[in-house]
A and B are shown apart, each in its own frame.
Chain A
Amino acid sequence: MSGHFRMFKKILIANRGEIAVRVIRACHEMGIAAAAVYSEVDRAALHVLKADEAYPIGAAAAAESYLNIPKILDVAGQACADAIHPGYGFLSENAKFAQACADAGIKFIGPKASAMGIMGSKTRARQAVERAGVQLVPGTSRGLDSFEQAGEVAEKIGYPVMLKAAAGGGGKGMRLVHTPRELKAALEAARGEAERAFGDSEVYLEKAIVNPRHIEMQLLADEHGNTVYLGERECSLQRRHQKVLEESPSPLVDADLRRRMGEVAVRVAQAAGYTNAGTVEFLVDAQKNFYFLEMNTRLQVEHPVTELTTGFDLVHLQIGIAAGEKLPFKQGDVHLRGHAIECRIYAEDPDTNYVPSPGKITLLTAPSGPGIRLDTGMYEGWTVPVDYDPLLAKLIGYGQDRQQAIARLTCALDEYFVGGIKTNLSLFRRIARDPDFRAAQLDTGFLDRMLKQREDKPDDQQSAVAAIAAGIFTALASEGSGNSAEANGANGATSKTPSNWKSTGRAEALQ
């Protein structure tokens, strides 16, 4: 097997945050040098600290840096990188970028531009898989020409219907429509949002499956015609069509359903001439019928749960495939073992309608313990910039079964503390303790239902402890010497907290 390919010596990572750190680690494990890129506001970002080389690529706005194809290819040339790993988001699903890499003689670690072109448009993807005989959610496989046409199709397939951006992702350009009366405004809103988010206002329509499960199948395909599936991920826990928590295996999927979904996913990939890592997403209804939703032509945010249950390192395999290696195993060698659950930790405020909460991280305590994996892009003292997606880290719990994975995750969530900015950690603490979640009663309506319930009130004893601690913190700050918080905190802003606090207390008293 070896000898027919030449492993890369240096990889440029065209991304930032936790995924850039994740890929840098894989490079180092494989003895490959890792070159990072960074925008003006990311000079102090963790991925720059961890890389072997780092290149500035422009202003904070992603369009001028992380989405700037000529600039990234320019620094890849400067760095003499053999390959580029795009991570997820940014340029990862940009067929023009994949083609530009190929034209520049740099290997793009991902599928070929042609396969991305097919799968990158949801309408073209629907056409391709339709030809391969795969079951689709009823709807249009072409963009809607007019409001009248949308009305006709919606009548034919029956309300509720879902409007979707052809270039879509991350819930942008999506609208659920319950009645004909709402259709016109929803179509205009979806088109406007799609135009702003993707520069493409093409919108199509499909039947809305009510409270479906969202289950996806991980694939790997080498450049020698071998395609395997690595089991499913349950991604039904979503808010505003964005995934919040993922797990593998899905509590709903048995061996037979897994094999059927896996085989369909392989057929979808082969219909597009797909290579490298990819994911086929399905909607599954209450009767366990599954429908092709879309194919993601990149490494997914939630890939760690598959790594833990299969034992394979997807980034290593991506790099190997891109270097021309054959897949080192066959479908029969893939066995799922145990259970893994991932929480996406976002810088957002769960108490104020989840508005983003960038800012300085003043205090950070990371969890650890058996079965705990933490993929993170933050550190204490770092300022989360306002310019990018609010994903900070991914906390993954692994156990011999779902119950143990949840127990480990619950403890780790209690240990995890991010101070100075708001995060959605408290949301995960609720989910992990929710009886329906523990009983695996999951569908895409789960989170909305849970959030409507009243939250447990903390007990009086803890409130009293908080009062005592508040007094002690204040007293220590006013002492300003000896065994005080201030004396121990010699480093910058952290040490200021108690005294700021005191001055605020006074200011408020003077109102």
Chain B
Amino acid sequence: MTYDVTIDGKNYRLEATRAEGRWWCRLDGHEIEVDAIVARPDVLSLRIGNKAYEVKCERVANDLHLWVRSTRFSAEVRDPRSLRGRTRAADASGPRKLSATMPGKVVRVLLQEGAQVDEGEGVVVVEAMKMQNEIKSPKRGTIQKVLVAEGAAVNAGDVLAIVE
């Protein structure tokens, strides 16, 4: 299998083939033999040469993390055979979503649809664990849509409003 892997913004091309209980990997052209066992679900024990690593895999909201020992890395894995051309919409133009960063309850909607908003201005207030958190606009523009009402329960990653 061949993967395009991005770790904390750094891109790798990885080929990984399993043979005789080992993994033959080619990472950006370097051949590496890896002894990998699944210690428990989401936990790998790797031996590369005689070096041992415990690696855990974790998903929080929409993020994927790999923990090598106690260091966290953001990870993305893509199959290069899939469709290409995944450049994201340019950051400054086009509608942007405001998402909840934590599960909780919407305690206040500060700006209504059609209102002008500055970059960094609070739009919705979400409360969880006795703490209130303002969800701020990522850009200057107009509130195109507010998707939640005061009192609504939301999960991390839920879209709260759209700014255009």
A420 proximity list for chain B (CB < 8 A): 58-60
B43 proximity list for chain A (CB < 8 A): 363, 365
Complex-state Cα separation, A469 to B46, whole angstroms:
8
B57 proximity list for chain A (CB < 8 A): 469-470, 473, 485, 497-498, 501
CB-nearest residue of chain A to B65: A419
Q: Which positions 472-510 of chain A face chain B at CB distance < 8 Å?
A: 472-476, 478, 483-486, 488-489, 491, 494-495, 497-498, 500-502, 504-506, 508-510
Give the shortest distance, in Å, between B154 (CB) and chain A (any CB).
Answer: 10
Q: Which positions 37-85 of chain B face chain A at CB distance < 8 Å?
A: 37-38, 40-44, 46, 48, 53, 55-60, 62, 64, 66-73, 75-79, 82-84
Instruction: Decide: A358 and B34 in contact? CB cutoff 8 A.
Output: no
State whether the Cβ of B19 lies closer than 8 Å to any Cβ in chain A: no
A505 proximity list for chain B (CB < 8 A): 76-79
Instruction: Decide: A472 and B34 in contact? CB cutoff 8 A.
Output: yes
Contact flags B95-128 to A (C-beta < 8 A → 1, else 0): 0000001111100000000000000000000001
State whether the Cβ of B156 lies closer than 8 Å to any Cβ in chain A: yes
Evaluate whether A511 and B42 lie within 8 angstroms (CB atoms) in the complex, with A358-B129, A468-B32 already known. no
Give the shortest distance, in Å, between A226 (CB) and chain B (any CB).
Answer: 37
Give the shortest distance, in Å, between A121 (CB) and chain B (any CB).
Answer: 21
Evaluate whether A473 and B73 lie within 8 angstroms (CB atoms) in the complex, with A362-B58, A388-B130, A510-B86 already known. no
Interface segment, A153-161, A278-286, A421-429?
A421-429
State whether the Cβ of B162 lies closer than 8 Å to any Cβ in chain A: no
Indicate the size class of the contact surface on chain B: 35 or more
Complex-state Cα separation, A510 to B5, whole angstroms:
15
CB-nearest residue of chain A to B89: A511
Complex-state Cα separation, A358 to B133, whole angstroms:
14
Complex-state Cα separation, A417 to B40, whole angstroms:
14
Instruction: Decide: B101 and A429 in contact? CB cutoff 8 A.
Output: no
Give the shortest distance, in Å, between B71 (CB) and chain A (any CB).
Answer: 5
Instruction: Decide: A468 and B56 in contact? CB cutoff 8 A.
Output: no
Complex-state Cα separation, A494 to B129, whole angstroms:
25
Contact flags A233-254 to B (C-beta < 8 A → 1, else 0): 0000000000000000000000
B77 proximity list for chain A (CB < 8 A): 470-471, 474, 501-502, 505
CB-nearest residue of chain B to A357: B102
Instruction: Decide: B102 and A468 in contact? CB cutoff 8 A.
Output: no
Instruction: Decide: A356 and B37 in contact? CB cutoff 8 A.
Output: no
State whether the Cβ of A441 lies closer than 8 Å to any Cβ in chain B: no
Complex-state Cα separation, A510 to B70, whole angstroms:
32
Complex-state Cα separation, A463 to B156, whole angstroms:
27
Instruction: Decide: B128 and A386 in contact? CB cutoff 8 A.
Output: yes
Indicate the size class of the contact surface on chain A: 35 or more
State whether the Cβ of B8 lies closer than 8 Å to any Cβ in chain A: yes
Complex-state Cα separation, A483 to B36, whole angstroms:
10
Instruction: Decide: B42 and A362 in contact? CB cutoff 8 A.
Output: yes
CB-nearest residue of chain B to A457: B8
Evaluate whether A349 and B101 lie within 8 angstroms (CB atoms) in the complex, with A362-B59, A466-B55, A504-B64 already known. yes
Instruction: Decide: B64 and A501 in contact? CB cutoff 8 A.
Output: yes
B128 proximity list for chain A (CB < 8 A): 355-356, 358, 386
> Pick the contact of B78 from A483, A486, A509 — CB < 8 Å?
A509
Complex-state Cα separation, A421 to B59, whole angstroms:
8
State whether the Cβ of A80 lies closer than 8 Å to any Cβ in chain B: no
CB-nearest residue of chain A to B104: A386
Give the shortest distance, in Å, between A383 (CB) and chain B (any CB).
Answer: 10
Contact flags A55-96 to B (C-beta < 8 A → 1, else 0): 000000000000000000000000000000000000000000
Most buried by B among A365, A388, A463: A463
Complex-state Cα separation, A357 to B155, whole angstroms:
10
Most buried by B among A357, A472, A474, A508: A472
CB-nearest residue of chain B to A456: B71
Instruction: Decide: A417 and B56 in contact? CB cutoff 8 A.
Output: yes
Complex-state Cα separation, A107 to B130, whole angstroms:
30
Instruction: Decide: B101 and A352 in contact? CB cutoff 8 A.
Output: yes
Give the shortest distance, in Å, between B48 (CB) and chain A (any CB).
Answer: 7
> Pick the contact of B5 from A362, A471, A476, A495 — CB < 8 Å?
A471
Instruction: Decide: B25 and A508 in contact? CB cutoff 8 A.
Output: no
B14 proximity list for chain A (CB < 8 A): 467-468, 470-471
Complex-state Cα separation, A9 to B156, whole angstroms:
45
Evaluate whether A363 and B42 lie within 8 angstroms (CB atoms) in the complex, with A469-B68, A474-B3, A511-B86 already known. yes
Instruction: Decide: B5 and A467 in contact? CB cutoff 8 A.
Output: yes
> Pick the contact of A495 from B25, B34, B41 — CB < 8 Å?
B41
Complex-state Cα separation, A301 to B60, whole angstroms:
28
Complex-state Cα separation, A465 to B10, whole angstroms:
13
Evaluate whether A363 and B58 lie within 8 angstroms (CB atoms) in the complex, with A349-B101, A356-B102, A358-B129 already known. yes
A466 proximity list for chain B (CB < 8 A): 7, 55, 66, 68, 73, 75
Give the shortest distance, in Å, between A183 (CB) and chain B (any CB).
Answer: 24
State whether the Cβ of A138 lies closer than 8 Å to any Cβ in chain B: no
Evaluate whether A358 and B103 lie within 8 angstroms (CB atoms) in the complex, with A463-B8, A464-B27, A498-B57 already known. yes
19 contacts between A and B (CB under 8 A): A355-B133, A363-B42, A363-B56, A386-B102, A386-B129, A417-B70, A458-B71, A466-B66, A466-B75, A467-B5, A469-B55, A472-B44, A475-B16, A476-B38, A488-B40, A488-B41, A494-B41, A500-B59, A504-B64
Q: Which residues of A are interface residues toward B (Cβ below 8 A)?
A: 347, 349, 352, 355-359, 362-363, 365, 386-390, 413-415, 417, 419-422, 425-426, 429, 458, 462-476, 478, 483-486, 488-489, 491, 494-495, 497-498, 500-502, 504-506, 508-511
Known: A363-B56, A468-B23. 9 other contacts (CB 8 A): A349-B102, A356-B104, A363-B43, A420-B58, A465-B68, A471-B1, A489-B41, A489-B42, A505-B77
